[in-house]
Amino acid sequence: MSGAKVEKTDQEWREQLTGAQYDVLRKAGTEAPFTGEYVHHKQDGSYRCAACGTELFGSETKFDSGTGWPSFTEPAVAEAVELRPDNGLFMRRTEVLCRTCGGHLGHVFDDGPSIDGGPPAQRYCINSAALAFQPGAEAGSGEDAQTDAGAEVHAGAAADAPPPDAPFAAR
């Protein structure tokens, strides 16, 4: 990870992101359960931040939690996410943000699946609108997986999203 932060004005984020992406990533919104593109997604690859392209989660850690949002046991790279207390809505939760652009991704809970009979893993409950999927090379993409800028992703976005081959810096 390069550690370079992505900073944009609110207007630049509004122009780059779809309405749903903006609401989730910049305003800490939550999409309705079972409506996101990646809830039942099973393809091999990586899930990246829809705003800046940072790799966040790998398909090998994704599981069906039954909650209505994509769930992962851990980030692909721990430093890619930032955790902070969220005591809103009369609850104690831990918010998950993209460390590169500060985008809200979702929340993490201590009720994930038990791995090898051990204690429960964490459950990173992430909004589909915050994610862009990049197929893995073994998934038939025809190319090796690329990283960050220049990565081909499928952003689960509406028609006003930039084309998948646009560099993230231009998004």
Whole-angstrom distance, CA of residue 151 vs CA of residue 154: 10
DSSP 96-125: EEETTT--EEEEEES---BSTTSSB--EEE
- Catalytic-residue membership of 125: yes
Kindly tell me the burial class for residue 124, based on how many C-beta atoms sit within 10 Å of its own C-beta (0-12, 13-18, 19 or more): buried
Whole-angstrom distance, CA of residue 100 vs CA of residue 154: 19
Which is the catalytic residue, given 49, 98, 101, 125? 125
Query: Mind telling me the catalytic residues?
Result: 125
